[in-house]
Amino acid sequence: MSLFKKKPLSHLMSESEDTGHEALKKTLGARSLIALGIGAIIGAGLFVRTAAAAAQNAGPSVTLGFIVAAVGCALAGLCYAELSSSIPISGSAYTYTYATMGEFMAWIIGWDLVLEYAVGAATVGIAWSEYLNNLLVNVLHWKAIPYEYCHSPFEMSTTGIHGIINIPALFIVAMLSLLLIRGTKESAFVNGIIVITKVSIVILIIIFGWTYINPSNHFPYIPAATTYTDHQGLSHNYGGIMGILGAAGVVFFAFIGFDAVSTAAQETKNPKKDMPIGILGSLAICTVLYILFAHVLTGLAPVEFFRTTGKEASVVAAINTFMPGYAWLGKLVTVAILAGFSSVILVMLLGQSRVFYSMSRDGLLPQIFSKVHPKFRTPYKANLIILVLVGAFAAFIPGDVVGDMTSIGTLFAFILVCIAVIILRKTEPDLPRQFKTPFVPVVPILGILVCAAMIFGLGWPNWLRLFGWLAIGFVIYFTYSKKNSKLRQQK
């Protein structure tokens, strides 16, 4: 049987109507989906990547970099919105690829999504651990957690102390995994509270910080094209068009997460209407907040500040230095960052478990990943296995090992989703579409080109890591998944 045999749409649609004991519980509406999207998007990117992109690439024109990145995400988001409303099944890009490009390509994207969701959740868990110490010391004025118990065995402090285990990172991954097992509705409720908290603090920074903007920090708005060499000796294109494009590549990380909304399609009450609202609504809200926040932050402090004294905890440093009397706001930012990281981890773990759930139902992964809790109607065994895998990574591996693999995995998924829209328009012209991507095939093709350009900008070391990761996936597919595929077992 061909490696590219497609899963019939009739099978997918019957799964979406399944209400049996192995079906996921439908509890989410449009507002919950928007909150899930915002929860996944606003996190480390806003509070960390903004200053980094301004310092290394674009100066005050980092706002234009946000716009470029948002355009790329919007093009892919329009394609996600069509597919998620037409094929309301858990699994996101994996499911869409199975229906349009066949089993082998579906396996590739399903394996690739592990980079975005599981590895991404572990990485943010490690960052959460770092900011927890910041909260304990600078906000609560308590003692910091000993170095050896909040760092991996591969890390060593400047005083020669070796890490043993990152307990805070393991703790937050475990707590959020258990919350997901308890129920998607409950998880969405907690996420909603977190989203309200961190969005409120972002708005406070924009409102109060606006009056402290120094116009000289925004001049020239687009710096002349030069090369900036950082403290590690790495060179960056600074200023001009290349600087803006470089900034777009950096702040793209800040948008990762809106696509995770599509993994909850099977738990949505009215996916045909609510999925497009959730995906595009969360992306639109975050884009506006990002641009305003970047404008305020780069107006508060000069670029040199973000390269030197304001390099670490840049937002808090800028508030404490250039907004006298607002130290309380700096403390709230620390709380917002912890809350933001928590909701990002929550949505990433949700996305990963739903992708594994779909792959397991298709026979490409062991059946244990699709076992649904008899009471909570969540894939609890998948969540427990993911807890072990992600928790081990967060507890014992340094955060910088992952690098840009999360982003390259996400961009690859975006490209396949754009391709899937074009293929389905040709092969299934009569498929009911509650939401239609406009100007097909122009919009999907533009999405492919923008995402491919960002992949190109990530450089060959990340291409090699992606190929290595996919090679491991090929071994699993040809030794297990191909033999156990339910589609192949059908006569």
- Report how far residue 474's alpha carbon sits from residue 246's, in angstroms, rounded to the nearest whole number: 32
User: Quick one: pLDDT band at residue 5, thresholds 50, 70, 90?
Assistant: confident
> What does the CA dihedral 275, 357, 41, 178 come to, rounded to 10 degrees?
120
- pLDDT exceeds 60 at position 382: yes
Q: For residues 349 and 180, what is the distance between their CA atoms, to the nearest angstrom? A: 8
Please write the tens of the pLDDT for every residue from 265-309: 666 777 777 778 888 888 888 899 999 999 999 999 999 998 887
Look at the alpha carbons of 96, 102, 107, 112 in this order and tell me if their dihedral is positive or negative. negative
- Residue 207 has a pLDDT of 95
Q: Which of 265-279, 301-315, 329-343, 470-484 has the highest mean pLDDT?
A: 470-484
> Residue 87: which residues within 8 A CB-CB, separation 6 or more?
9, 12, 13, 16, 95, 96, 99, 265
| pLDDT tens, residue by residue, 91-124 | 667 888 888 888 998 899 889 888 778 888 888 8
Residue 183 has pLDDT above 90, yes or no: no
Four-way CATH pick for 9-489: 1.20.1740.10, 3.40.50.2000, 3.40.718.10, 1.10.1200.10 = 1.20.1740.10
Q: Of 177-191, 209-223, 414-428, give the lowest mean pLDDT range.
A: 177-191
Burial class (CB in 10 A: 0-12, 13-18, 19+), 326: middle
Does residue 24 carry a pLDDT above 60?
no
- Domain extent listing, the chain: 9-489
- How far, CA to CA in Å, does 478 sit from each of 107, 347, 484? 11, 30, 10
**Residue 242 pLDDT > 70, yes or no?**
yes
- State the average pLDDT over residues 252-262: 73
Q: Find out whether 357 and 380 touch, Cβ atoms under 8 Å.
A: no
- Reply yes or no on whether the pLDDT at 441 is more than 80: yes
Decide which of 45 and 345 is more confident: 345
Q: What is the average pLDDT across 315-319? A: 87
Burial class (CB within 10 angstroms; exposed 0-12, middle 13-18, buried 19+) of 7: buried
**Residue 203: its pLDDT value, please?**
92
Which residues, other chains included, contact 119 with Cβ-Cβ below 8 Å and sequence gap of 6+?
Answer: 393, 402, 405, 406, 409
Q: Is cis: bond before 461, omega within 30 of 0?
A: no
Q: What is the pLDDT of residue 18?
A: 52
Which amino acid, residue 378? T
- On the question of pLDDT at 20 being above 60, the answer is no
Place of tokens 């939401």: 435
Q: Where are the beta strands (DSSP E) in 143-266?
A: 226-229, 235-238
Q: What is the pLDDT of residue 175?
A: 93
Contact criterion met (CB below 8 Å) for 359 and 369 = yes
| Other CB atoms within 10 Å distance of the CB of residue 279 | 31
Residue 171 pLDDT more than 60?
Answer: yes
Of the pLDDT bands very low, low, confident and very high (cuts 50, 70, 90), residue 445 is very high
Tell whether the model's pLDDT for residue 186 goes beyond 70.
no
pLDDT for 345 equals 87
Q: Grade residue 21 by pLDDT with cuts at 50, 70 and 90.
A: very low
Whether residue 49 is predicted with pLDDT greater than 70 in this model: the reply is yes
**Mean pLDDT in residue range 187-205:** 81
CB 340 within 8 A of CB 44: yes
pLDDT band at 174 (very low <50, low <70, confident <90, very high): very high
**Average pLDDT score over residue span 171-184:** 86
